Structure 1
């Protein structure tokens, strides 16, 4: 049976014109048993469409690991390292992940208590909630009425020492049903988004770049982000914005001297824009919560300086300024009309281009609502590729 494609089921809130190329449901193949030829098609489709959905998939942890690894055969360890959190409970990631013992590259995530699961006698899972991470919170009354928030917009990446995974695979095993919620932005815009319970929300990094005005495109194509060492430990005492898109600047981050041992050579500096290996298009790929500094190259020779930001280049170290600029560039792309909130069913497998999209956990579950997912991503064998000289000349 040949591979068939169908559009993803967009919600009424989505601007369909912005999702023409984003996301496809794949039919006609078993993702756990792909032939080399079928995998070649799937790989190309993923980079073209950034997210692929397989319904009613039967997938063991071993098959999920093999599928994820096929996108980068030289990769091996889980995307945050197989100890996940730099061997410290101070990391904000620590409560969210349980390792499948026989396949340590696959993590069990979800909510509630899961028994006798793939070698785990008992796993207590905690669905990340904005209550533990945001500076402000939805009131208990509003939450009871269905209000919620994005938890944290991010890329799956250690952002220190390891290269960001190319692909993340997410497999829904136990999916609790419940009333839809309304995701509030609570940033003064009045923006809100109806979402299914426990959705994973996605936005396109390609769209994030495409909708920028010329002066911000020029800045993005010339800029690089320096991430903090051990960023998930560094940011742990701080709080997030109400949109989940970055951190409030309140000088709460750990001092670099208080972090686990780190070396300058392992600190990651990535381009703001990452080049798609199939389409050649540029994706705005910044994890705003871990960003510490911005380095901006000067305009290339002959470029117009009119309206340009930092035409002679800059090294921005003021955290408030860095975060403000990134937020200005990223916030338009999480508008309700540009978000795809996936409505999970049991045995849904979603593959997403981790170097082409940002995503967020959304919502909250009650303690007795059991949810179990398998997640796999692998630290890549190489760092992302940024804009070419031709890209800089075109957009700067």
Structure 2
């Protein structure tokens, strides 16, 4: 069966059909996948019954993998290339460190000097209902701004943090994260290194704009996030077991909705492909 691609929504995304990631991919097949990844921003691979090793090996086709030193509590103890997105409690009964991972609009690793090129998330245990993830097209978010707004935000930098939706500043994890990941200033408009297109680079983890106070920054940040997440720019993914979703962090943003019953298990595992250096530490 030859490869084919089915659009997932008008705005972005494609399902890759006719592929088994447990089997080796030819260079020609991978090139087709990579081209569509750059064109559509998100790729969905259904019914992929693969091992952790195969997940990591396929991910490496896209570039060097992050070992998640910036998120040491969330990575798999035996596979540092795998980030756990899970609500399964820890062995001592404490809530999972990644229970609330992703429940804000964001782009992966934007709070580091080497933001992610792409992420490959594999669904392992999925709630019977819900647990969805939404994605939005940041090319379209930028392209549909007025010329005046584009000119205003072009020179701006935004301060990205690693904060989570549920913030406990007294916890060891929050103190550790603040030390490992000091705030990073990233351009509000980034040029995609492979396509050359401009994309808005913003999100709920942006605390402030460089050179402005938080009070001054908030109306603009709020507007840009609201604009970027308009329904016509968005694809909502309903997870199934053995799904793999690959997304381009350089031109998309995403959010985990947390839309499932308390007590239902949701366990996914993610590889993160390193991107090109971007941003700078604040002095």
Q: Report deviation, 1:122.
A: 9.3
Gap regions ≥5 residues in structure 2: none
Q: 2:117 corresponds to which residue?
A: 166
- Measured against aligned partners, the alpha-carbon deviations of 1:170-201 in whole angstroms (never above 9, x if no partner) come to 111121213xxxxxxxxxxxxxxxxxx11101
Q: Report deviation, 1:271.
A: 1.8
Task: Confirm or deny: 8 A CA contact 1:157 1:379 kept in the other structure.
Answer: no
Rounded to whole Å, the distance in 1 between the matches of 2:244 and 2:265 is 18
Rounded to whole Å, the distance in 2 between the matches of 1:53 and 1:284 is 23
Q: Secondary structure at the match of 1:176?
A: coil
* Pairing 1:7–2:7 present: yes
Rounded to whole Å, the distance in 1 between the matches of 2:159 and 2:187 is 9
Q: 1:27 corresponds to which residue?
A: 17
TM-score by length of 2: 0.82
- Measured against aligned partners, the alpha-carbon deviations of 1:7-44 in whole angstroms (never above 9, x if no partner) come to 11x4xxxxx4xx2xx11111122234322332222222
1:200-211 equivalent positions in 2, closer than 5 A: 200-211=133-144
Q: Is the alpha carbon distance of 1:56 and 1:122 closer, same or farther for their aligned partners in structure 2, counting shifts above 3 Å? A: farther
Rounded to whole Å, the distance in 2 between the matches of 1:232 and 1:63 is 31
Q: 1:337 corresponds to which residue?
A: 232
* Pairing 1:155–2:127 present: no
- Measured against aligned partners, the alpha-carbon deviations of 1:274-332 in whole angstroms (never above 9, x if no partner) come to 223343221111234234333xxxxxxxxxxxxxxxxxxxxx32012122212222212
Rounded to whole Å, the distance in 1 between the matches of 2:179 and 2:47 is 43
Rounded to whole Å, the distance in 1 between the matches of 2:26 and 2:109 is 29
RMSD of equivalent CA atoms? 3.3
Q: Secondary structure at the match of 2:6?
A: strand
Rounded to whole Å, the distance in 1 between the matches of 2:28 and 2:93 is 39
Q: Is the alpha carbon distance of 1:351 and 1:261 closer, same or farther for their aligned partners in structure 2, counting shifts above 3 Å? A: closer
User: Who wins on radius of gyration, i.e. which is larger?
Assistant: 1
Task: Confirm or deny: 8 A CA contact 1:47 1:277 kept in the other structure.
Answer: no
Task: Confirm or deny: 8 A CA contact 2:135 2:253 kept in the other structure.
Answer: yes
Task: Confirm or deny: 8 A CA contact 2:86 2:268 kept in the other structure.
Answer: yes
TM-score by length of 1: 0.60
Q: Secondary structure at the match of 1:103?
A: coil
Q: Is the alpha carbon distance of 1:121 and 1:35 closer, same or farther for their aligned partners in structure 2, counting shifts above 3 Å? A: farther
Higher relative CO (Cα under 8 Å, sequence separation at least 6) belongs to: 2
Q: Secondary structure at the match of 2:85?
A: strand
1:383 aligned to which of 270, 277, 280: 277
Q: Secondary structure at the match of 2:258?
A: coil
Q: Secondary structure at the match of 1:340?
A: strand
* Pairing 1:77–2:72 present: no
Q: 2:127 corresponds to which residue?
A: 176
Q: Report deviation, 1:353.
A: 0.3
Gap regions ≥5 residues in structure 1: 11-15, 86-93, 115-119, 130-149, 179-196, 239-253, 295-315, 386-396
Q: 2:269 corresponds to which residue?
A: 374
Q: Secondary structure at the match of 2:139?
A: helix
Q: 1:224 corresponds to which residue?
A: 157
Q: Secondary structure at the match of 1:222?
A: coil
Task: Confirm or deny: 8 A CA contact 1:159 1:290 kept in the other structure.
Answer: no
Q: 1:326 corresponds to which residue?
A: 221
2:85 aligned to which of 96, 106, 109: 109
